[in-house]
Structure 1
């Protein structure tokens, strides 16, 4: 009876936080069994290890981390349009509070945060586990929690900062400020860097599918870039780039030699689908002949750019030439083995390049930009004007990171260009308040302390 009581308390707390109502909605979200057996899973290293691994698995049981996180911000920015060239609520920026995809993202993020919090609590309370492994597992959970909150605060702004599974403290949690969210993100990542492994030897066959110190450093570099902490952004990026025995830029992009192949030298963190060898991005989101096209098409690429050649298909739709995103090559097949690539080395060079421009290190910025351009078979930049270099970096980010994890959407917002760029696109019904997604109506019905973002009901 005691075990059942614990189980139902966690379930009740979880669904109150998610804002889910009704039996049908509850059945749609599964909590892994190992996440519920709280009295047993932290009695041995083997079961604790499996539980932490289950947090990563929870990131691909829903669609957010491998689907919505790519296409939704792609459409709400100037990156993706529908192949049909019809509009939807994302391309027009008319998302409503009851939108199922937005609600699904909210739920998936908080589900993963819940699983991370539960692991942190269970691991911290256990006296039966290896102390060194316990520190590593807690660090992994904190990294994942920070990763989720980075996306939540960039999608919704102020969100509840939930650091416990205690139902009395989570069910009616109000929104915390973005400053508070970022403070916790930096704290979690900083603590994680102290206890995460410095290589992948702790993981099966050295697979790059769980967090290391360098994953935390990479995310710290991104976070500090967003916060305008240029020195810290450059320092954290450099800490990863300097690990040349582990991380190297790929030369000669091909279908079998790309940053999305399993365990390639550019990969810092990848998340696999468990028991299969394909990535959902290539199998369903950005398939050949699929749903999405790059809005700007060939205009963003130079003629010889290897990324255009290897990461897109040229298609003609209604007499107009477009490019369709095709970074992931397999479609529910095992060759090549690809994984959802969460963090990769190229972003770190682009982060450091931008930070260096801001710090007036023009030569250093040029060197970093040229690493990215040379990998794409493009020549070195000769630009020296800081503003022109920043424009080039923004363009290289478009070319390098299209279709990945909302980078373009976030870049437009963090650089203050969203209103100018998106307000000028025909078909977009753009207002300044569209820079944040609506807080899901289902969450607000369950929690009256959740206020709505401006511009929504």
Structure 2
């Protein structure tokens, strides 16, 4: 192998895991001119800061983060169909292990995980960095790693839990159980929450583009909801909701007053599109006129729902409703960002947890926050099962086309077989609830087994 001081160590061990090329070839690739070797990154605050920024940037440089993660689970669930109404492997739930977008998601998540691991190792080993900043940067890296693993285990189930950059450990890493993955997610987020800043003052112009304590608490609320830990889910959600000088529900939804506008009061974490003046979701994925349409159309919404008015378009000449949450399509205004975490989800998380804890009035209050923002009347339901059904419906209405929420909700609530098995055109089997482990990854790693059904 050539001298490590002139070789680029970025994600090489994960190329082994994801199966993109051979070992010798990977470990001898020259450093791209725009990158630094890892041995020089952590010798000063500015270069370390740039590296942490790069971890966030990696979340929007590949289409997996800004495209696939929205439309693929939308199609495999009961949320989206192509405007052309042509069938594809996602709508029919016939994804193959050679599928490109599925493989790209796997690859992109592991690239970001590698970046996070590299930062944790490098910053921990460095003696040249300002201690307070180093602590914060490690916490940010742990948050991002937990975020990636949350999606990986919910898309693919058991996946390799990689916490190092050491190639001898990553190249043939076996799959870890989902329990092990979740344990690490909770550990990372708990540690990150202690060390992340409580506001955005450390970041340029107070922009909401990097993780704070409240981003970690938000993801902890979601994770505990998924794990059925209702008390913990309520507690973490309440911790963020109580920060009401920073986070507030907006009123009067419009194109320029929405939870997707840069630095709005509902935004907990947004990722900017570097060197772009538009949001890809509005420009390429859900453009004016509609590439995808909502499977349930107008029946998803109650009469007068402001989300239907402001977050959908009627496709010209049809009655189809196309998702249109992001309005910026290759123009400079309104300024929007990919919104990763936002306040509305926390009210829905807390409402569900409160029903499970038999706090009916508290659950009603949280549901009504969401309904009132959509110009809908307060709920009068008191039956726990009816309230849970309403919360599930409000999650559909509020979170459609965002980061696979509907797909994950169907799985975590045990409704997926019941809902998807009766939809015409779907070739549904219970094993379709997990996506296939990509063929390229399994080809390079003999310890990667395939999910059942593929």
Q: How far apart are the structure 1 equivalents of 2:119 and 2:235?
A: 30
Does the Cα contact within 8 Å between 1:10 and 1:36 map onto a contact in 2? no
**What's the CA shift for 1:279?**
1.2
Q: How far apart are the structure 2 equivalents of 1:46 and 1:406?
A: 35
**What's the CA shift for 1:15?**
1.1
- Closer, same or farther in 2 for the Cα pair 1:10/1:278, shift >3 Å? closer
Does the Cα contact within 8 Å between 2:290 and 2:315 map onto a contact in 1? no
Gaps of 5+ in 1: none
RMSD: 1.9
Counterpart of 2:130?
130
Q: How far apart are the structure 2 equivalents of 1:7 and 1:387?
A: 59
Counterpart of 2:265?
265
Q: How far apart are the structure 2 equivalents of 1:52 and 1:14?
A: 19
- Normalising by structure 2, report the TM-score: 0.96
- Normalising by structure 1, report the TM-score: 0.96
Q: How far apart are the structure 2 equivalents of 1:325 and 1:161?
A: 35
1:295-331 CA distance string (max 9 Å, x none) = 00000101100000000012266xx622100000011
- Closer, same or farther in 2 for the Cα pair 1:46/1:36, shift >3 Å? closer
3-state SS of paired residue (2:345):
helix
Counterpart of 1:396?
394
Q: How far apart are the structure 2 equivalents of 1:31 and 1:37?
A: 7
Counterpart of 1:385?
383
Gaps of 5+ in 2: none
1:31-80 CA distance string (max 9 Å, x none) = 97676421211111111111111000111111111100000000000000
Which of residues 335, 360, 374 in structure 1 aligns to 2:333? 335
1:157-203 CA distance string (max 9 Å, x none) = 00000000000000000000000000000000000001000000000
**What's the CA shift for 1:7?**
2.7
Does the Cα contact within 8 Å between 2:193 and 2:214 map onto a contact in 1? yes
3-state SS of paired residue (1:81):
strand
What does 1:241-390 align with in structure 2 at a 5 Å threshold? 241-315=241-315, 321-390=319-388
Does the Cα contact within 8 Å between 2:31 and 2:37 map onto a contact in 1? no
Does the Cα contact within 8 Å between 2:8 and 2:37 map onto a contact in 1? no
Q: How far apart are the structure 1 equivalents of 2:87 and 2:2?
A: 53
Q: How far apart are the structure 2 equivalents of 1:6 and 1:177?
A: 37
Q: Provide the aligned length of Structure 1 versus Structure 2.
A: 451
- Closer, same or farther in 2 for the Cα pair 1:11/1:405, shift >3 Å? closer
Counterpart of 2:44?
44
Q: How far apart are the structure 1 equivalents of 2:34 and 2:126?
A: 16
3-state SS of paired residue (1:253):
coil
- Closer, same or farther in 2 for the Cα pair 1:238/1:3, shift >3 Å? farther
What does 1:21-420 align with in structure 2 at a 5 Å threshold? 21=21, 36-315=36-315, 321-420=319-418
